[in-house]
Amino acid sequence: MYWQPVVRCKNPDCPTPSAARIRLPYPDPPMVTADQPMWPADAWKLHLICRDCDHWYIYDKNDVQWAKVTLPLADQSGFTFWSVDIECGEPGCSSRTQWHVLDNSGMSEMEVGEFVLRADPVAVCENDHAFGIAGVKSQSAKMVSSV
């Protein structure tokens, strides 16, 4: 058994059972015989979109829990943790925002980018410009093993 960081979707109407948690990537999770890591840092935050309800929320250190799991997320076949970097297209805005999704459906890089832009509510940059209105100057997606 291993320690794995997790968060719960904040959408009260999410179809995922309330006991289900979104697993976060963490390099080399310790065995449960060890203490839970002192992670994340106080200033940590994560824009995370729930794959089951498409809602996004900003998660912080207080939202992270440690769960006992049989296999670390990195060893789970069929799960990919994506990071999508979006640069706002609003004139004069140079904001870059990272969005994250835990996927178990096999989305491609292009599909995960489209998924972020369809999130509910509409995804916004750090300056609150809605990407659907302001547009996107650049976008890239990659699989990540830590956040």
Q: Is the pLDDT of residue 104 over 80?
A: yes
What angle (nearest 5°) sits at the alpha carbon of residue 110, between those of residues 105 and 114? 85
**Cα 132 to the center of its chain, rounded Å:** 20
- C-alpha gyration radius of the chain: 16
What pLDDT is recorded for position 11?
A: 93
**Read out DSSP for 98-118?**
EEEEEESS---HHHHHHHHHT
What angle (nearest 5°) sits at the alpha carbon of residue 69, between those of residues 142 and 102? 25
What pLDDT is recorded for position 19?
A: 63
What is d(CA 89, CA 96) in angstroms, rounded to the nearest whole number?
Answer: 10
pLDDT tens digits, residue range 51-97? 999 999 999 999 999 999 998 888 888 899 999 999 999 999 989 99
What pLDDT is recorded for position 66?
A: 95
pLDDT tens digits, residue range 27-59? 989 999 989 999 999 999 999 999 999 999 999
C-beta of residue 66 within 8 angstroms of C-beta of residue 4: yes
- pTM score of the predicted model: 0.91
Q: Is the pLDDT of residue 17 over 80?
A: no
What pLDDT is recorded for position 131?
A: 92
User: Average pLDDT, whole number, for the chain?
Assistant: 93
Three-state SS at 3:
strand
